[in-house]
Structure 1
Amino acid sequence: MDENLAVHQEMVTTPENQPRSDEPNPVGCNKYRWCLLVLFAFSLFATTLGLGIYSHLQKESQLKSAAPPCLSPACLKASVHFSVAMDPFSHPCDYFLFACGAGGSSTNNERQRIKGSSNEDNGELDKKRAVRTGGLVRMRREADVQGKSDGWLNKFPDRQTALLKAIKEILESSEEGVSMSAAEQKAKKFFKTCMDAESPEKVGSEPFLKLLQQLGGWAVSGEWNQTDFNTTLTLLMSQYSTFPFFSVYVGPDSGEEQNASNQHYIQIDEPHFQFPIDWNNTTHKSKASTRYLRPFYLSCGQYLALLGVPSFKTTQHCGLYISLSTTLAVATYPLRYRLSQKLLYHRITIQELQTLAPAIDWLACLQAMFQPLPISQSDIVLVHNLPYISHMSQTISQWRVKQEIMGTIPLHTYMIFSLLQTLIPALDSRFFQTMRNFSIVTGDTQEEMPRWRRCVQQTERGFDVLLSHAIRERHAQKEAEELIHDVYSSLKKKLTDLSWRDNKSSDFILNKIKSLNPRLSTKTNNLNHTELNHLYAEVVLKEEDFFSNYLQMLVLEQKSRCRLLSHGTRAEGALNYGTLGSLMAKDLLHLLLPDIHTQTNNPESESMCVWSHYLSVTKDPGQAGTFSLPPSKQQEVWVQYSALQVALDAYKISFTRHPTDSSLSGLSYIHLFLSSFTKVTCDADPYREFMPFEPSFLVTVLCSNSGFCPKLLTCLNTSQSSPHEMCLSRTLH
């Protein structure tokens, strides 16, 4: 168009083409009129272009300024929740450098000491891979970190806390004028009896003692009908979710392709011991931490006293209990060592397992646990420390011989103590305080978890399917699906934006991401109200008997394992663009990272830009270029910063779809987005050790370009400098 305009203008103004002034020339008049037409069109185009630019700037301004405040009940409620949290832009230096604890967490302090390159621990790399693929390590953050609320440290709530609070609101919702299903009524009744702190105090240890009588008595009390070892073990595993000698759960095989199938397997691992275990890196041996054995012995005696056992029996039974526990513990290995020795995800049939560990009746135990599912000798199970399982079997066989000689029953006592640990949440506060006191002795400095949180967790254990259904109904599944679609679209833009070494690599990654089908959940057979009522039809709860209700919850938890084994993964809920958006993008980028790292230069260059920015505001001038990052930390910085960019771009996409959305607390859209992002950065993260600084600092880098944030995030320290280079991708422009 511009070239044609130039040609036409040249045709009009070239001297040899001009007509003589003393004679009329119709051709010249036509050319003159054409020139005016072209000039008019050009001015119209310029005006339109100007209006377009103005409109674009207005939209950008809308992103940075607040719309009229939303005054709906839901918005007012959200505003109250937001006002409780500290505004991340009010104290940028303190907040973005020490976001996960007052004055900085120990984790953050360790990050501050990074100097030069360091050799990567292959064990740690494998550990992260195991967490990502197999879910072997269950990392749950049990503390929020700001101020105090309900006696619980509470800064920006992490994902689990946010979800638990949402479930709490469902369980506490008023029944008036609301049609509830029978299943939902049962969940609310369970939660209500759990919150009744006075009921367990009235009955003391009596419920547990009655249960022991139903199980055949207890050798410590002198009344025991000599039940068979494997019979007792099978009963504890199947009915009381108690695993004294080994743990059993359900999960996928990390060696299988994640999208190949949803098949889950029975997994067998070390048990959870009640005392700390020391590991010797030189001898590669474990042992019970000797400095905690005396407190452990004292707590054992306190439990026996609460159960009415005479004090003269304490020495013998607690001594044998500790001796057996420490004997089993010597064959445990930390995760890093098990990874290095390839002791995880060992595939073996139940029949082969029976040969290697004959003291346990494996088929009977597993059949009882997963009934009515058919379990046979040829079924595959995954074992995560076969040497321990073999050692455990040998130990049990040896102690069965010892007990015949000594005339005591240490194996049965050991199992009953394990059952007691399982049931402590349903007993009176003296049992819980005994457990808490020992935890404090072993170094647990966290404040006691508020009762509402414990009760929500207990309710979720038994009513997981129902609560997942309730969360989906109440928290906008359609909007969550839109979020996922936006994140995928933004991710594709980010991948296109990378500097690929060749078109083949670029096409491979783009086709890979395009082949994925973004959806909220892999579970498509969600149950309706009738099916949910049928699922919980056999549950009968009592008004003021939490102990009895707790036992039923343990049975429900076991049924949940059966469903997981037969149907695959559970569905997850959704949050928002700042939290769920960045988490989704981060997980996807981690999956694609091996190909991205080998086929592009972006991770290294962009992460070093971010790292330079961090050094410029935390180190003295002149030192900013003296600290480097090892490759694994470079990659993680790039992944987490790119995830933030992708999530923000997805949020902007959403804003164009819903331009009339109102604001909360008078804050701009970008302000709200960045605040929600910072709330998730203190959450448990399997890649946390690879970040050289708090992830919330990435907001500071993003805001170094004032066009994206409501205001700059700068510190008052005049000695700090800021790099001229902005670490931004074209995705955000």
Structure 2
Amino acid sequence: MTENQLEHELLPLPQSSFAQPPAPDHPQGPHQNQLLQGLAQHDIPLHPPSDSDSTTQNRPRLPGQSPRWTNHRRLILLVLLGSSLWAIVLVLVYYSQQDVKTQSKEITPTEKVTQCLSKACQRASVRLYTSVDPFSHPCDYFLITCGSDRPWPTTRGKKRSEGPPLNLQRQPKGAEMRTKKKEKNLDGNMKVEEILDRKNALMRYLQEALESKSRSGSAVQKVKDFYRSCLDTKSIETAGVEPFLTLVQQLGGWGISGQWNHSDFNSTLKVLIRQYASFPFFNLYVGRDPNEILRGTDRKYIQIDEPDLLIPIAWNNTAQKSIAKTQTLFPFLALCQKYLALLGAPSGSNIVHVGMFISLSSELAVATSPLSYRLLNGLLYQRITIKELANEAPVIDWLGCLQAAFHPHPVRPEDHVLLHNLPYIVQMSNVIQKWLTEHELRSSGPVRTFMFLKLLQTFTPALDSRFRETERRFYLALGHTVPEVPRWKHCITETEKGFDTVLPHILTDMATQRKAEEMLENIFSIFKTKLNHLDWGDNNSQQSLMKKVHSLTPRLWTQTESKRESELDLLFSEVNISTRSYFSNYIQLLDLQRQRRNRLFNQTQEDDIFSVRPFHSGNEVIFPMGMFVPPFFHATYPRAMNYGILGIFIAKDIFHLLLQDDPSLSEAGTAMAECVWAHYLSTTGRAGGGNATVLSAVQRREIWLQYSALQVAFQAYQQSLQRQPEDSALLHLSLTHLFLTSFAQVDCDTELYGDSMPLEPSFMITVLCSTSTLCPAALECPSKTQLHSLKACLPHSS
């Protein structure tokens, strides 16, 4: 075999960037360079000569020199040369190890690193494998848009007017691969563009948990059964309207059915409020008084607001009152007629009931007013006792209704409530009294019909599709957009309304909680350190900000501090869920909502299982558990991946949350943003162009915040490795490679702040790698002239 053939055999086979072994995370050390230069100066060959060497074959034989001696001489030379090469190799290895030790901050897999093979990691591997490796095509990857082949940066499908158009002559490989990525289904039901949204990721995680067949405690199993009964649309369609008509008869009937017992108005109203969470004439909820919040009082009050009326209304600025527009009454008339037809009302009496319902609705509607008007005129949070309220609006048995709504919470006549439109409450009482006196006993009971049609509105989600379709067409006729919500997502939302104490139990496990708390602690610590080193130019502003930040503590919010499984089972022991009757399950859900409303009296803050962003409360920055779900986070993921995805989002959220009220930006931050922008223009070939976009103050601020967030997450991960050096790996990527690739995979996440960014967030990787020795490869574009150097204006990142 010739030397050329041998070299050909040793050439590596072409591989995917994710299949190759990890590249070194730093360039050749100075010791290796010195050794190689020395070898070159002394003409020491790096490979033994081959038998096919033409120089050796044609060299003349010396006199007296036998071929045998020549062969022995060659053998001796080969042995000596081989020994020399081994010595050189050993020296190189020695100096290489010494060079690694000098780079103590470097993040690379060690012999202790093992591949993550959990189910979550297998899914993550598929997502990473179908994504574009930013270090394979840096020229294309960082300049192309998120899943678009249009030559300009975009966010959420719309053009970013702030960004300069890129003069690309072809669709880069990065764009092509991203487009294919968006079309590819993962795990059979979840597309990449869906999982990149935090709220959708949480919903998908809950869906998988609720649809799993794993053994569960009694309470969790009841939640799963409720969810599955909601998904069982076949049984719902088969049941039709009969469950609702049966309920109406149990309540004494109404004039539309021809039989009703003329029961007392307030008696029926209290039953609707307590058992079915139906509030036909007003709304009830629990909350604090803003005037007391400033004094640090956490007391909760019953709050009484306007109802959600079916009839469409508009506000007349000239007359300063609400009106019912004629053009909107026709769709409303069609809605009411369709509802009564579905309920089996005789066609002959249909128009009479509809006419009275519209008339009564109109009289109530004109007494309402929009929130802006009520705020301007001081109609919100008016304090009044229940006894005083009964004098202002006597037609309602206020004490009895509030006791029914909040049973078993004690409600007394001297208790204060907060009103949000007293003029409406007074007018509502007068209107109902008039209709009860003039019509109720002599006709088919229009007030009762009004109450039952409002009850129908409460139960529409539990009835067959004809009712939902009727409602959808009504809103479309009014010009509203009605988004199509998948049934599974609708059922998760309905499940949360009553089982809000159980769903956090599904989200929370000790491994996730422990690793989430460690991440929060590291990121918040680095965040405070970074702020300490900033030069804000205003000492007073900086001291005030640092005092505020150092007084805060990050806390993982597990909603109701997740109860034990046995406690949940006892709490829901009286709840009976049917696997075939969603309507009966829905009735129990309404009672669970009432119990949830009562719990608000004793809770510091209302639970929100769907919360996916941190918020500031007192001296705490609270992070919901809903943030810590796949694909952004998992207890079995390598930490490099958790920090590279969710860690960066957390850091970004902290910057926005705590600096949003401070419009100032340090001089260093402004310089950094301009430096990044100059590098971006240079990379895209637009440096020095006359039409280069000038950054606004908001854009400079956003560039600084997003790059700072990447730095904080990266340094927090390094700090985590210093405390616990072991980490698992994925796809044989080095840890730095995995961190940055994970970030790049979700750089197109629909963030709230994307519109302020004139470039794609993943471009920040080029910025980080320009000042750090930890990146797996140099991110340069040979085909473009890069005139701008980031090293001159950015701090070192490693």
Bucket of the pairwise TM-score, normalised by the shorter protein: 0.7 to 0.9
Question: Aligned letter for 2:457?
Answer: Q
Separation in 2 of the partners of 1:712 and 1:289? 66
Distance in 2, matches of 1:48 and 1:419, equals 76
Question: How much does 1:208 deviate?
Answer: 0.3
Q: Distance in 2 between matches of 1:275 and 1:350?
A: 29
Provide, for residues 506-556 of structure 1, a one-character-per-residue CA deviation record: whole Å limited to 9, x for no partner.
444333333333221276754222211111011112231111111111111
The counterpart of 2:745, out of the listed 662, 675, 684, is 675
What CA distance in whole angstroms lies between the structure 1 residues aligned with 2:653 and 2:281? Answer: 35
Pick the aligned partner of 1:75 from 105, 121, 144.
121
**Which residue among 194, 198, 203 is the counterpart of 1:159?**
198
Pairing 1:171–2:217 present:
no
Which AA in structure 2 matches 1:661?
S
CA contact (8 A) 2:527 2:651 kept: yes
Give 1:203's aligned residue: 239
Query: Which of 234, 243, 246 is the matching residue for 2:282?
Result: 246
CA contact (8 A) 1:97 1:693 kept: no
Quote the offset at 1:655 in angstroms: 5.1
Q: Distance in 2 between matches of 1:331 and 1:599?
A: 48
Work out the CA distance in 1 between the residues paired with 2:297 and 2:793. Answer: 38
Deviates more, 1:86-95 or 1:288-297: 86-95
Report the alpha carbon displacement of residue 168 of structure 1 after superposing the two structures with TM. Answer: 1.9
2:223 to 187, 190, 198: 187
**Greater Cα shift, 85-94 or 274-283:** 85-94
Q: Distance in 1 between matches of 2:362 and 2:780?
A: 54
* Distance (whole Å) between structure 1 residues aligned to residue 452 and residue 649 of structure 2: 42
Task: Write out per-residue CA displacement over residues 422-481 of structure 1, whole angstroms, 9 at most, x where no aligned residue.
Answer: 212221222222223333334455553222222222222221111111211277111111
User: Offset at 1:726?
Assistant: 9.3
Deviations 1:301-330 (A, max 9, x none): 112111111122222222333333344444
Question: What one-letter code is carried by the residue in structure 1 that aligns with 2:335?
Answer: S
Q: Within 5 Å, give how 1:131-530 maps onto structure 2.
A: 155-175=194-214, 178=215, 180-254=216-290, 260=296, 263-274=299-310, 277-279=313-315, 285-288=321-324, 290-335=326-371, 338-339=374-375, 343-404=379-440, 407-443=443-479, 445=481, 448-473=484-509, 476-501=512-537, 503=539, 505-521=541-557, 526-530=562-566
2:552 maps to a residue whose letter is L
User: In structure 1, what is the Cα distance between the partners aligned to 2:526 and 2:221?
Assistant: 42
In structure 2, the gaps of 5 or more residues are 1-94, 164-181, 610-623, 634-642
Q: Check 1:424–1:521 CA distance in 2 against 1; reply closer, same or farther (3 A cut).
A: same
Deviations 1:355-408 (A, max 9, x none): 554444333222222211122344444444455445544444444445359735
Structure 1 position 593 matched with structure 2 position 629:
no
**Which letter does structure 2 place at the counterpart of 1:271?**
P
Aligned to 1:662: 729
Contact 2:230-2:582 within 8 A present in 1 as well: yes
Cα distance 1:558–1:453, how it changes in 2: closer, same or farther (>3 A)?
A: same
Q: RMSD of the TM alignment (CA)?
A: 4.8
Contact 2:183 2:191 in 1 (8 A): no
Post-superposition Cα deviations, 1:102-123, rounded to whole Å, max 9, x if no partner, equal 99789956x7499xxxxxxxxx
Q: Distance in 2 between matches of 1:695 and 1:265?
A: 46
- Asked whether 1:556 is paired with 2:592, we answer yes
Which has the larger Rg? 2
Distance in 1 (CA, whole Å) between partners of 2:645 and 2:479 is 32
Structure 1 residues 254 and 581, CA gap change in structure 2 (3 angstroms): farther
Which residue number in structure 1 is paired with residue 166 of structure 2? none
The secondary structure found in structure 2 opposite 1:364 is: helix
Q: 2 CA distance for matches of 1:452 and 1:263?
A: 37
Q: Is 1:565 aligned to residue 604 of structure 2?
A: no
Residues matched between the structures, number: 638
Q: Percent identity?
A: 40
Aligned residue type for 2:207: K
Change (3 A) 1:443 1:710: farther
Deviation at 1:235, TM superposition (A): 2.4
Residue 622 (str. 1) matches residue 690 (str. 2): yes
1:54 is aligned, of 103, 108, 111, to: 103
TM-score in terms of structure 1 length:
0.72
Per the alignment, do residues 665 and 402 of structure 1 end up closer, same or farther by CA in structure 2, a change over 3 Å counting? farther
Change (3 A) 1:529 1:48: closer
Indicate conservation of the 8 Å contact 1:279/1:287, yes or no: yes
Whether the aligned pair in 2 keeps the contact of 1:542 and 1:549 (CA below 8 Å) is yes
Letter in 1 for 2:103: Y
Distance in 1 separating the partners of 2:449 and 2:674: 58
Q: What CA distance in whole angstroms lies between the structure 2 residues aligned with 1:672 and 1:591?
A: 24
Task: Rate the CA distance shift 1:212–1:68 in 2: closer, same or farther, 3 A.
Answer: same
Q: What amino acid sits opposite 1:662 in the alignment?
A: A
1:536 aligns with 2:602: no
Residue 231 of structure 2 contacts residue 488 of structure 2 at CA under 8 Å; is this kept in 1?
Answer: yes
**Take 1:716 and 1:418, find their aligned partners in 2: how far apart are those partners?**
68
Residues 1:157 and 1:275: Cα distance change in structure 2 (over 3 Å): farther
Q: Which has the higher helix share?
A: 1
**Aligned residues of 1:350 and 1:376 also touching (Cα < 8 A):** yes
Three-state SS of the structure 2 residue aligned to 1:520 is: strand
- The answer to whether the 8 A contact 1:221-1:309 is kept is yes
Distance 1:266 1:449 in 2: 32
- Counterpart of 1:130 in structure 2 is none
| Cross-structure match for 2:45 | none
SS at match of 1:71: coil
**Offset of residue 294 of structure 1:** 1.9
Paired residue type of 2:690: G
Decide whether aligned partners of structure 1 residues 260 and 711 sit closer, same or farther in structure 2, where only a CA change above 3 A counts: farther
- For residue 266 of structure 1, give the secondary structure of its aligned residue in structure 2: strand
Distance 2:502 2:675 in 1: 47
Tell me the secondary structure at the aligned position of residue 302 of structure 1.
helix
The 1:199–1:522 alpha-carbon spacing in structure 2 relative to 1, beyond 3 Å, is closer
Q: SS of the counterpart of 1:565? A: coil
Would the alpha carbon gap of residues 436 and 378 (structure 1) be closer, same or farther in structure 2, given more than 3 Å must change?
same
Structure 1 residues 276-285 or 543-552, which shifts more? Answer: 276-285
CA-CA distance at 1:501 after TM superposition: 4.5
Structure 1 window deviating more from structure 2 (487-496 vs 334-343): it is: 334-343
